[in-house]
Amino acid sequence: MEYSGARILLESLKKENVDVLFGYPGGAVLDIYHELSNHQDIKHVLVRHEQGAVHAADGYARATGNVGVCLVTSGPGATNTVTGIATAYSDSIPLVVLTGQVPTPLIGNDAFQEVDIVGITRPCTKHNYLVQDVSQLASTIKEAFHVARSGRPGPVLVDIPKDVQNQMHAFQYPERIKMRSYNPTYKPNNNQVRRAIELLSEAKRPLIFAGGGVISSNSSEELGTLVRSMQLPVTGSLMGLGAFPGDDPLWLGMLGMHGTYAANKAVSNADVILAVGARFDDRVTGKLSSFAASAKIIHIDIDPTSIRKNVEVEVPIVGDCKLALQGLLRVQETEFADVNWADQYDEWNKQIREWAVTHPVRYHDEESLKPQHVVETIFELTKGDAIISTEVGQNQMWTAQFYQFRQPRTLLTSGGLGTMGYGFPAAIGAQMAYPDKLVIDIAGDGSIQMNSQELMTAVSHKLPVKIVVLNNCFLGMVRQWQELFYDRNYCSTCMDAQPDFVKLAEAYGAEGYRVTDPAKLKETLKAAFDSPLPCIVDVRVEAEENVYPMVPAGASLEEMLLV
Amino acid sequence: MRHVLSVLVENEPGVLSRISGLFSGRGFNLDSLNVAPVLEEGVSLMTIVTRGEQQIIEQIVKQLRKLVTVIKVTDMHDSTTVEREMALIKVNATESNRAEILRIVDIFRCKVVDVSLDELTLEVIGDHGKVEAVIALLERFGIKEIARTGTVALRRSMQPEK
Ligand SMILES: Cc1ncc(C[n+]2csc(CCOP(=O)(O)OP(=O)(O)O)c2C)c(N)n1
Ligand SMILES: [Mg+2]
């Protein structure tokens, strides 16, 4: 029995347990869309811009841990996915992006809607493919999913020419896959694991630095067990939020540019740092030469390139975070059973507590509507039981500081690329995966305008995503830099020309709310959260509020500007 | 420090641009790059000459290994190797200096592969240092054109005990 390429593609997706496709049709994928109507078991979310499709697939992937999938046409459809792909690549999110391509005989001739999307996305995908023959289609899809989700996950693009979609071929989905050129290392080296515990047993001022790898490897539980049995204080990168409960006494909050005082002090004074699935981004380290100056670093990462890329490492452990943490636990419980960790670290933990108590993240609580208070109120209303996405800028940092993430996969945020416009479509993707969960995009007035067209997607698919706009009428984070480092020259950051967000919501058939009075904040948010419809809550916050602490770019972590 | 990297890759379209894109995108030095198929079906060998401090070289090797189409990366620096490159050099040759050029040809075991009344084209084969030396010696006569291959290298069969 022979199937068309289009059908082979969809049958292959089902073999990969794909139940949702985020997409947008066009000439080069018409055959696939034609076939799609025969496959009711694959839901299709019709977005309003291809960038939205990729972010939605990304949000779906972050919330579930599964590969997110999207489908777009050639040319402009394909180029519109690039920002989304780069966003996922920066944060190691597993995606399969399917693009239509002009028929193979036309490739290279500047055909209508032809672009070399494989060439364009080479540096921002984990890998990509051009399928040149229908006989290769099923195995390419198999490989694409395998590459996307294994090792350090990432986006994979598969470009499928139109003629390949309607050529006929027998369908046989490969059971297994063997790639001589791709074999990620999962099992950590036992000697290194042992050395790590040995180093910690000699430490007086240890610290765990958790990154997004803890979340992508689903090892929060292992991390928690290790932390509690050894009484190790924990900090995390933006991508690591939720890896360890934000309300646990051993949690110090995020480190880095807008990290907490306690976390940045702890990193700067630690003698041993155990980094788990983190990559020492410049927003985390500040000035490299003074970062963790007195610490020996143990670094667990599945990607060898992350190790020793930015910082010198004493004990490198290449492997899956979960297996590595399990290994650490085993060695600690057996060979180091008689160490009294709590005693050994007691003084250090007291010091850290003192930093945390004397310098919590805070703001001046005045009469006006403070954005930080809005985030706190969202936390109070949800008790952490919600999926939160963010846009980029101050809104993102206040969310990181004032919302206590208690579970992994409850924060969807563009960390590495810092993509404005990410949060709302990502929330749509997450809501698609969890229709009954409360999904909230904590947004900025600038960012939300980058993908607000997806309101139509949310309304038409009955996805009751809530957008809370921390509306400061500014590109706030940029304005903050201008205030602090560019003589308050607010060039092109004032956004007082903006749509009426309430009417905007209503125009799409969503609900719009506005909050100007602090006293009405909680009840308005509650009404929006209880509504069965997608909502925008336009909260008019203090316009020139800044995010603190702040480590100026290029300064060392101890040079924090405080409130 | 100059390093010669031997990189076995899947011989498929785009593999060259994956490698060259990695070098340009990350700002790594790329002195030369040579590609040709090897005995095994579907596999090519790239010989890459690069420079950098140890930490950078380590990154380059890891980044290359991370590419999904790369099968194996060997830093030839870790073993003793035979290295060769070839250059074709077209040099001005007047009646008065022709003899001296030919002496250089002789000393460096080059070959004269083309002659005209006022030019000689020489073929030089050797390791990188030798080719550089010949070029340096010929410069004062006026080199008109030059075409060079990148370096290729193989591990020596007998490695000194470590
Ligand atoms: C696509 C994109 N363009 C530009 C930037 C640079 N940028 C970073 S934060 C920011 C301001 C965001 O403004 P807003 O969404 O209102 O958030 P606020 O900082 O005010 O909370 C800008 C322009 C970016 N991160 N992403
Ligand atoms: Mg703003």
Domains of chain B: 2-78 (3.30.70.260), 81-154 (3.30.70.1150)
Q: Is the pLDDT of residue B78 over 90?
A: no
Do B10 and A181 lie within an 8 Å CB cutoff? yes
Angstroms from A120 CA to nearest CA on chain B? 11
Do B21 and A304 lie within an 8 Å CB cutoff? no
In CATH terms, is domain A2-170 a member of 3.40.50.970? yes
Same fold, A190-358 and A371-540: yes
CATH says A371-540 is which class? alpha beta
A543 lines ligand 1 (CB under 6 A): no
**Which residue carries 């480190």 as its tokens?**
A255
Angstroms from A378 CA to nearest CA on chain B? 41
**Residue A387 CB contacts under 8 Å (≥ 6 apart), including other chains:** A63, A409, A410, A411, A412, A427, A430, A431, A434, A437, A438, A439, A440
A518 lines ligand 1 (CB under 6 A): no
Low-confidence ranges of chain A (pLDDT < 70): none
**Residue of chain A nearest B9, judged by CA positions:** A181
The torsion region of residue B123 among left (phi > 0), alpha (psi -120 to 50) and beta comes to: beta
Q: Is the pLDDT of residue B162 over 70?
A: no
Q: Per the omega criterion (within 30 degrees of 0), is the bond before B160 cis?
A: no
Over residues A291-346, the pLDDT tens digits come to 999 999 999 999 999 999 999 999 999 999 999 999 999 999 999 999 999 999 99
**Residue of chain A nearest B11, judged by CA positions:** A181
Q: CB-CB: which of B17, B59, B71 is closest to A309?
A: B59
Phi, psi of A170 (to 5 degrees): -65, 140
**Residue of chain A nearest B64, judged by CA positions:** A305
Helix, coil or strand: residue B89? strand
Q: Which of B26, B35, B80 is nearest to B56 (CA)?
A: B26
Q: Please indicate whether residue A545 is annotated as part of the active site.
A: no
Q: Other CB atoms closer than 10 Å to residue A385's CB: what's the count? A: 11
Q: Which of B62, B67, B72 to mutate to test the interface with A (most CBs of A within 10 A)?
A: B62
pTM of the model: 0.97
CATH assignment of A190-358, among 3.40.50.720, 3.40.50.1220, 3.40.50.300, 3.40.50.920: 3.40.50.1220
pLDDT at B161: 80
Over residues A27-57, the pLDDT tens digits come to 999 999 999 999 999 999 999 999 999 999 9
Which residues on adjacent β-strands are paired with residue A71?
A23, A98
A478 lines ligand 1 (CB under 6 A): yes
Where do the domains of chain A lie? 2-170, 190-358, 371-540
A391 lines ligand 1 (CB under 6 A): yes
What order of strands is seen across the sheet that includes strand A127-130?
A: A43-46, A20-23, A68-72, A95-101, A155-161, A127-130
**Residue of chain B nearest A312, judged by CA positions:** B55
A419 lines ligand 1 (CB under 6 A): yes
The answer to whether A60 touches A435, Cβ cutoff 8 Å, is no
pLDDT at A417: 98
pLDDT at A365: 83
**Which residue carries 């960038």 as its tokens?**
A51
Q: CB-CB: which of B21, B59, B71 is closest to A123?
A: B21
Label residues A421-453 b or e (16+ Cβ within 10 Å = b).
bbbbbbbbbbbbbeeeebbbbbbbbbbbbbbbb
| Partners of residue B38 in chain A, C-beta under 8 Å | none
For atom 3 of ligand 1, the residue with the nearest CA is: A420
Average confidence (pLDDT) over B64-70: 97
Q: What share of chain B is helix, strand, coil (3-state, %, to 5)?
A: 30, 40, 30
Distance A543 CA to ligand 2 centre (A): 8
Do A130 and B13 lie within an 8 Å CB cutoff? yes
Helix, coil or strand: residue B105? helix
Do B21 and A122 lie within an 8 Å CB cutoff? yes
Which residues on adjacent β-strands are paired with residue B87?
B124, B148
* Amino acid found at A169: H
Q: Please indicate whether residue A112 is annotated as part of the active site.
A: yes
Question: How does DSSP classify residue A189?
Answer: P
Using a 10 angstrom Cβ sphere, with 0-12 exposed, 13-18 middle and 19 or more buried, the burial of residue A211 is buried
Pocket probe for ligand 1: among A85, A399, A419, A420, the residue whose CB has the most ligand atoms within 8 Å is: A420
| Partners of residue B63 in chain A, C-beta under 8 Å | 305
Give the closest ligand to the alpha carbon of residue A546. Answer: 1
Using a 10 angstrom Cβ sphere, with 0-12 exposed, 13-18 middle and 19 or more buried, the burial of residue A133 is middle
Distance A521 CA to ligand 2 centre (A): 18
A418 lines ligand 1 (CB under 6 A): yes
Q: Which of B59, B66, B70 to mutate to test the interface with A (most CBs of A within 10 A)?
A: B66
Helix, coil or strand: residue A441? strand
* Ligand 1 atom nearest A475 alpha carbon: 13
